[in-house]
């Protein structure tokens, strides 16, 4: 593949985090995962985004409690704008990470191919210690709760995102050394 001199190399990996409205859990994961990728030096090789299964909040900022929880840990979620997951996202992404079984059912049902269905994975499935911590398979939706649940959700997101990054990092490392 010939690239123009000013063209960026293609990303090695494209990931989208999908929750219900794209204002709480998925923006957290997008910001946290992007920070992990950037800190490791792969920011130009990984595309990280987020979306919601519903359209209720399209164009809105992340929930203020999401932005505040992220800020308390040194992340900046202020530039986020919610969007809805669309069918073309299956073609644009290598991995579609969801937060609960409901989103998993919605997106696997919407996936046009078996390959696309296999892209849909629960975030906590990457965190092998989640069961030990008693978090189960679903990341709870903090929208109708208090700031404390936003902090707990961010804990889950950080742990699982770190575990996911550890799984893909060897391929990223191999891809950048060629």
Choose the catalytic residue: 25, 34, 45, 65: 25
Give CA angle at 152 (169, 98), nearest 5°.
50
For the segment 47-69, the average pLDDT, to the nearest whole number, is 97
| Contacts of residue 70, Cβ cutoff 8 Å, sequence gap at least 6 | 28, 31, 32, 76, 77, 154
Confidence of residue 4 (pLDDT cuts 50, 70, 90): very low
Residue 64: strand, helix, or coil: helix
Residue with tokens 């994961």: 29
Task: State residue 106's pLDDT score.
Answer: 97
Provide the sign of the torsion angle of the four alpha carbons 26, 28, 33, 35, taken in this order.
positive
Task: State residue 51's pLDDT score.
Answer: 98
Task: State residue 3's pLDDT score.
Answer: 38
For the segment 1-10, the average pLDDT, to the nearest whole number, is 46
Task: State residue 5's pLDDT score.
Answer: 43
Choose the catalytic residue: 76, 117, 141, 155: 141
Provide the sign of the torsion angle of the four alpha carbons 136, 84, 164, 153, taken in this order.
negative
pLDDT at 10 over 90: no
For the segment 59-71, the average pLDDT, to the nearest whole number, is 97
Strands 13-19 and 46-52: parallel
Task: State residue 96's pLDDT score.
Answer: 98
Model confidence pLDDT, tens digit, residues 141-171:
999 999 999 999 999 999 999 999 999 999 8
Task: State residue 107's pLDDT score.
Answer: 98
Active site residue 141: yes
For the segment 56-76, the average pLDDT, to the nearest whole number, is 97
Active site residue 101: no
- Please give the residue that has the higher pLDDT: either 7 or 103: 103
Domains detected in the chain: 13-171 (3.40.50.2300)
Active site residue 19: yes
């Amino acid at each position: 593949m010939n690239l123009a001199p000013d063209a960026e190399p293609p990303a090695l990996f494209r990931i989208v985090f999908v929750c219900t409205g794209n204002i709480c859990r998925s923006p957290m994961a997008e910001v946290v995962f992007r920070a992990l990728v950037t800190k490791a030096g792969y920011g130009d090789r990984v595309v990280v985004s987020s979306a919601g299964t519903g359209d209720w909040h399209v164009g809105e900022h992340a929930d203020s409690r999401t932005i505040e929880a992220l800020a308390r840990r040194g992340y900046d979620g202020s530039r986020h704008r919610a969007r809805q997951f669309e069918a073309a996202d299956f073609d644009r992404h290598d991995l579609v990470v969801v937060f609960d079984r409901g989103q998993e059912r919605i997106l696997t049902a919407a996936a046009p191919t078996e390959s696309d269905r296999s892209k849909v994975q629960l975030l906590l499935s990457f965190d092998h210690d989640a069961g030990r911590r008693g978090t189960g398979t679903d990341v709870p939706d903090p929208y109708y709760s208090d700031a404390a649940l936003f902090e707990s959700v961010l804990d889950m997101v950080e742990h699982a995102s770190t575990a996911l990054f550890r799984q893909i990092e060897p391929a990223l490392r191999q891809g950048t050394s060629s």
